[in-house]
Amino acid sequence: MPSSAGELGSRLNKSGQQRQKRWSKRVQTGCVTCRIRHVKCDETKPSCRRCTSTGRKCDGYADPSTSADKRKKKQGSVQIVGYVHVAQMPSAWDSLGGEPVENESFHFFRLVTTSNLSGFFDFGFWSYRLLQVSHQYPALWHAMTALARLHRDFATDDTPMTVSRTRDSQKIVFALRQYNKSIRALRELLLRPYLTHVDKLAILSTCILYVGLAILQNFHWQAFQQIGNALKLFHLWNFGLQTDGNTDMNVLLALLTQLDSQARPHLLTKRPLIPWTDNRMILMPTSSPFRSLLEAYVALEVHFNNMIRLFTDMQTPPPDTPLPDHIKNALLIKQKCLDDFDEWDRRLASYLAIAPHEKDNNALDLLYLRRTFAQISLSLDATKGELASDDFLNEYTYMLHRAARILGAPSPSLAPAAILSHSQPPSRLFFCLTTTATEPLFFIATHCREPKIQQAALQLMKQYPRRESICEGPVAVSIAEALIGFEKRSCSTAAPGSCTTGQWICANHRVAKLHLFNPTDHEVHGQAWTAEDLATGSLGEKFVFHMW
């Protein structure tokens, strides 16, 4: 065994260069293609369905005796949590110093955690450039090692997702010690009389890592507080304007805008209240084609954030504004949101016309998924109440297929028998800071009453459980299933003559209002009202859900 984590780092690559590798358990069986991709193979012969269903070429199966010989030869190599290091030349990362356990956590951060921070839109920011400067910024270094230790504990925990897990106190103590070191170093950095552009990038990145630390421990109030702190600094330094071709700043702008969109609807339920900035991210006015998918992503998240602000402002009208004036102003803002998204569509189409190589990748899948999510949210006809959701069955189906591609799942079949036949034990909970599939799938499961589409969305969330920032998939599934059951019971036990029009679930017994809040760090409480409950003043139904 190696004597230190530095020795592990020296075994990364024969050339001594950084090697990026996604961490996962090593696949011991299956076709050659699935083993290379580190995914579970269904072992259908001669070509597995896992490959053929996604359009890949299945390279067949290795000879068992040959595979056994190869495994024997590798017995002398070092295995650490599912990835293998073979003896190599010294790496530049060995010069970073630090305690052995810190170096080990840093290597996990570099190999595993970085890919979970910005998802499809990293562009070397987390995975390369920040790693390069981390040894110059103790605040950043210690935040990385703290997050990596908690992430590793999270990713390897075998506790069933139906049970709240117990944290390893030793690992928490190490992470807390690293966090305290980071905080002290960050305070010293902020006291400097002059901060360079790189200083500010390091500070903002450190604040985002603090968000991840809080989320991995289910400390939602602290997570929102850290998001608020990062946003204040971002606007204090006038970074709220989309920069011209600055990749690093655009990565941060997109991530912070998305975190703001996730946190903003929950702020009114948090006690004590968290101070929040009302400053907006500003896009450079132009109708020219996007120059990259990253630029399109930033613009989409800014438009999405403006939509979320509209919805939250509608829930809390200012007391000094007459209601008719408030409604009129809200309609004007809504139309501006629709116009902005239409302009975004044109700019993206123009970019794809000159960059056809970008038309088939997960980054584009994510853009289309969130764009459709926003389109439905802004296009619901308020005069139809909850029945308005029935007008978007094609859009829900489209979102399902995009989400499946992002998750690496087979294209979902909407036949009930097919949904049941694809049932498998769920994988471990996946953590990331970006919003990808869980939030849109939850939206489908709670707004679309068509049973096959609804169940397909639930099945994807069950088979690919994820904690995407503050949105936890297993809890989202529990909430959605509770609401579905509540609506069905309301219809089946309704008094004669109380049911109204509506396919699948009548309009009177659909959930028309939902309130969710966290009284503790490990519980989500909910209360739901049907349209009938609101009309009669009923208390609706209450729920309690437990975080993993």
- Ordered DSSP codes for 20-70: -----PPP-SS-HHHHHHT------SSS-HHHHTTTPPP-----HHHHHHH
Contacts of 257 (CB under 8 A, 6+ apart): 281, 298, 301, 302, 304, 305
Residue 239 buriedness (CB in 10 A; 0-12 / 13-18 / 19+): buried
pLDDT for 367 equals 96
- pLDDT single digits (tens) 166-189: 666 677 888 999 999 999 999 999
* Structure-model confidence comparison of residues 77 and 55, the more confident one: 55
pLDDT for 482 equals 94
Q: Is 90 exceeded by the pLDDT of residue 308?
A: yes
pLDDT for 228 equals 92
How many CB atoms sit inside 10 A of residue 158's CB?
6
Q: Is 80 exceeded by the pLDDT of residue 261?
A: yes
404: helix, strand or coil: helix
Q: Tell me the mean pLDDT in the region 355-378.
A: 91
pLDDT for 40 equals 77
**Residue 71 confidence class, pLDDT cut points 50, 70, 90:** very low
pLDDT for 450 equals 94
What CA–CA distance (Å, rounded) separates 54 from 51? 6
Answer for the pair 467, 353: CB distance below 8 angstroms, yes or no.
no
Q: Is 70 exceeded by the pLDDT of residue 200?
A: yes
**Residue 304 confidence class, pLDDT cut points 50, 70, 90:** very high
* Structure-model confidence comparison of residues 344 and 361, the more confident one: 344
Percent of the chain whose pLDDT exceeds 90: 46
Q: Per the confidence metrics, is the pTM higher than 0.85? A: no
Q: Tell me the mean pLDDT in the region 441-448.
A: 96
What CA–CA distance (Å, rounded) separates 491 from 484? 11
pLDDT for 12 equals 39
What CA–CA distance (Å, rounded) separates 261 from 197? 26
Alpha carbon distance, N-terminus to C-terminus of the chain: 34
Q: Residue 517: enclosing H or E segment and its boundaries?
A: strand 511-520
Return the ∠ at Cα 438 (arms to 290 and 406), rounded to 5°: 55
Q: Tell me the mean pLDDT in the region 374-398.
A: 93
Q: Is 50 exceeded by the pLDDT of residue 165?
A: yes
Q: Is 60 exceeded by the pLDDT of residue 23?
A: no
Please give the distance of CA 272 from its chain centroid, rounded to a whole number.
Answer: 26
Residue 361 per-residue DSSP state = S
pLDDT for 247 equals 86
Q: Tell me the mean pLDDT in the region 136-164.
A: 87
Which range is least confidently modeled, 235-244, 375-384, 473-482? 235-244
Answer for the pair 29, 9: CB distance below 8 angstroms, yes or no.
no
Amino acid of residue 457 = A
What CA–CA distance (Å, rounded) separates 498 from 382? 21
Taking all residues of the chain, what is their mean pLDDT, rounded to a whole number?
A: 81
**Residue 245 confidence class, pLDDT cut points 50, 70, 90:** low
Which range is least confidently modeled, 97-106, 188-197, 352-361? 97-106
Name the range with the highest mean pLDDT among 25-39, 47-61, 370-384: 370-384
Name the range with the highest mean pLDDT among 269-273, 453-457, 535-539: 453-457
What CA–CA distance (Å, rounded) separates 88 from 10? 6
pLDDT for 141 equals 95
Q: Tell me the mean pLDDT in the region 199-225.
A: 93
Which range is least confidently modeled, 158-172, 192-206, 272-286? 158-172
How many CB atoms sit inside 10 A of residue 127's CB?
18
Answer for the pair 127, 20: CB distance below 8 angstroms, yes or no.
yes
pLDDT for 417 equals 45
What CA–CA distance (Å, rounded) separates 285 from 252? 20
Answer for the pair 531, 491: CB distance below 8 angstroms, yes or no.
no
pLDDT for 420 equals 41
Q: Is 50 exceeded by the pLDDT of residue 421?
A: no
**Residue 496 confidence class, pLDDT cut points 50, 70, 90:** confident
pLDDT for 418 equals 47
**Residue 154 confidence class, pLDDT cut points 50, 70, 90:** confident
Edge-to-edge strands of the sheet including 511-520?
511-520, 523-530, 541-546
Both tokens of 4, joined, read 């230190």
Q: Tell me the mean pLDDT in the region 402-429.
A: 68
Q: Is 90 exceeded by the pLDDT of residue 13?
A: no
Q: Tell me the mean pLDDT in the region 309-320.
A: 84
Q: Tell me the mean pLDDT in the region 477-497.
A: 90
pLDDT for 79 equals 30
Instruction: Give the largest CA-CA distance in the chain.
Output: 79
Percent of the chain whose pLDDT exceeds 70: 80
